[in-house]
Amino acid sequence: MSKLAHLNLASPLVLAPLAGYSDLPFRLLCKEFGAGLCVSEMISCHGLVYNQKKTIAMLASVPEERPVSFQLFGADPYMMAKATDILNGFGPDMIDINMGCPVKKVTKKGAGAALMATPRLAQEIIQEVVGQSDVPVSVKFRKGVDSQSITCLDFAKMAEDAGAAVLTVHGRTWSQGFSGFSDWNCIAEVKRAVSLPVIGNGDITSYDQALEKLGLAQCDAVMVGRGALGNPWVFSHMGRPNDIYSILKGVIRHLDLMKQHLEVERLLAMVKNHIGRYFKNLKGSSKLRRQVYESNSFTSLYAMISEIAGN
Ligand X SMILES: Cc1cc2nc3c(=O)[nH]c(=O)nc-3n(C[C@H](O)[C@H](O)[C@H](O)COP(=O)(O)O)c2cc1C
Catalytic residues: 101
Task: State the amino acid at position 103 in one-letter form.
Answer: V
Q: How far is the CB of 21 from ligand X (least distance, A)?
A: 6
**Contact string (CB under 6 A) for ligand X, positions 262-291, x = contact:** ------------------------------
Beta-carbon contacts of residue 217 (< 8 Å; ≥ 6 apart): 184, 185, 187, 188, 191, 198, 200
225: contact with ligand X by CB under 6 A: yes
Q: How many residues bind ligand X (CB under 6 A)?
A: 22
Closer by beta carbon to ligand X, 127 or else 138: 138
Question: Helices 77-88 and 119-132: crossing angle, nearest 10°?
Answer: 30
Of 209, 126, 187, 119, the C-alpha closest to 160 is: 126
Of 104, 145, 139, nearest to 123 by C-alpha is 139
Site for ligand X in 167-186 (CB under 6 A): 170
Cβ distance to ligand X smaller for residue 214 or 305: 214
Q: What single string gives the DSSP state of each residue in 228-253?
A: GTT-GGGGSTT----SHHHHHHHHHH
Q: Using CB under 6 A, pick the residue from 18, 126, 145, 187 that binds ligand X.
A: 18
Site for ligand X in 78-107 (CB under 6 A): 98, 100-101
The nearer residue to ligand X, 226 or 266, going by C-beta atoms, is 226
106/135 with CB nearer ligand X: 106
Residues in the chain: 311
Report the nearest approach of ligand X to the CB of residue 5 (Å): 18
Decide: is 42 part of the binding site for ligand X (CB under 6 A): yes
- Distance from C-alpha of 285 to C-alpha of 5, rounded to nearest angstrom: 43
The neighbouring-strand residues paired with 68 are 38
Chain residues in the site for ligand X (CB under 6 A): 16-21, 41-42, 71, 98, 100-101, 140, 170, 201-204, 224-227
